[in-house]
Amino acid sequence: MPDTPAPPPVILGDEPGSFPHGVLAERHPAIIRQVRDAFPYDRAVHRALDALLESCTKGVIEPLPADAHDGERWRDWGLDAYAGRSWFDVPWLWSESYFYRRLLDAVGYFGTGLWQGIDPFRPFKLAELDAPETDEELAVLDTLATRPADERARALLHGSLWGNRADLGFRLSDAEAEQRDAAPGLVADDSEALWSLLPAPDRGAGTGDEGAAASTRTVCLIADNAGRELIPDLLLAAHLLAHGRAGRVVLQVKPYPYYVSDATPADVVDALRRLIRAPGAAAGYGRRLWEAMADGRLTVRAHPFSASPLPYAELPDDLRAEFAAAAVTIVKGDLNYRRLVGDRRWPPTTPFAEVTGYFPGPVAALRTLKSEVITGLSARTEAALVAAEAQRWRTGGTHALVQVRP
């Protein structure tokens, strides 16, 4: 048998002018400055933030404090191999993840003082939830109320997909992203394959057995950002539950603040409260989701692996078993896509099913393109994108995809 070809190189941040280099050299310092001004931090926190800024731009990766609660876990995740090296010379996925872990140290999130457990990104998340744009988006639910269920399903799916443009970290490095028009079509669209994994009970034979199967069907939804993106994710979950496409939705979020706007359990509660206090149909969605969370049909998980610097190919056994038992795992957002396919320089025509073959069950990716990694495109689609935009289509947030591996 021929040898399996070696995978392409892991993406690093060491190439000046590249998108990963820009994130490390420009976005991370901007995040430090923004966090510094978000709270009345004392001088000790300011000194720690200044030290992190110096380290991540000009210095090297330093170990966690000796008493860090997760020190052993991070050593298992590669810290011993990368300590002492430039932030730019290790895998970009790892470097980004470790930056946020060190940022939490700098602001005392894991300490015992005043700032213990205080999300340094919370003011930005709440401001986004309270923005007029959120009201405008929720008002659309009133117009959807009278539409057929399948039309509502498609609208909510695309709301969840394009909601990924509401990403605070992304907007820090591309302030005009939301003003640009989204592409009229998707670079890949397996939506029908996704719905085929989640048939409504009233389709096909319409038997009692079909309804019973739907009532026990679990959908895992790996969330990405909080705020205006998490709300459409929750609306999609509500639709799946209300129309029998799922009997239970497990929402996977981060165990602590991560990547500026990534969702935590507290952000889920904030989003539910925002829905409940909204006018019109949005409040009904919020109340139904609140009840679903109370009775277990909507379950929130915050596994430590969710905030790890590792690809999903290295899933721990408990998560692997959970995803294997799900009807489908829906993976939201750019970061989760990088972890799903591996943050490597794949040729864009590499089949999505090939690079996700390891995943323990059916998997669907909903992603707005904000980084360089991409798989599953046709040669024709890739050629058209390159001809129109060179390589900017990969990172501008104006293209999206729905990819499914049954």
Classify burial at 62, counting beta carbons within 10 Å of its beta carbon; exposed 0-12, middle 13-18, buried 19 or more: middle
Query: How do residues 161-210 score in pLDDT, each as one tens digit?
Result: 987 543 333 233 333 444 433 344 689 999 999 999 999 886 544 455 66
Name residue 60's beta-bridge partners.
86
Cα gap 139→143, rounded to integer Å: 8
Lowest mean pLDDT among 142-151, 173-182, 233-242: 173-182
Instruction: Say if residues 55 and 62 touch (Cβ distance below 8 Å).
Output: yes
Is residue 150 very low, low, confident or very high in pLDDT (cuts 50, 70, 90)?
confident
Q: What is the mean pLDDT of residues 228-235?
A: 94
Torsion angles phi and psi, residue 58, rounded to 5 = -130, -10
- Average predicted confidence (pLDDT) for the chain: 90
Instruction: Say if residues 333 and 164 touch (Cβ distance below 8 Å).
Output: yes
Query: How do residues 265-286 score in pLDDT, each as one tens digit?
Result: 999 999 999 999 999 999 999 9
Instruction: Say if residues 128 and 228 touch (Cβ distance below 8 Å).
Output: yes
Give the pLDDT confidence score for residue 163 in this predicted structure. Answer: 74
Give the pLDDT confidence score for residue 178 in this predicted structure. Answer: 41
**Whether the predicted pLDDT of 216 surpasses 90:** no
Instruction: For residue 154, give the 3-state DSSP assignment.
Output: helix
- pTM, two decimal places: 0.92
What b/e readout covers 330-356, taking b as 16+ CB neighbours within 10 angstroms? bbbbbbbbbbbbbbbebebebebeebb
Is residue 249 very low, low, confident or very high in pLDDT (cuts 50, 70, 90)?
very high
Give the pLDDT confidence score for residue 4 in this predicted structure. Answer: 59
Instruction: Say if residues 194 and 364 touch (Cβ distance below 8 Å).
Output: yes
Cα gap 122→142, rounded to integer Å: 29
Cα gap 201→324, rounded to integer Å: 22
Is residue 211 very low, low, confident or very high in pLDDT (cuts 50, 70, 90)?
low
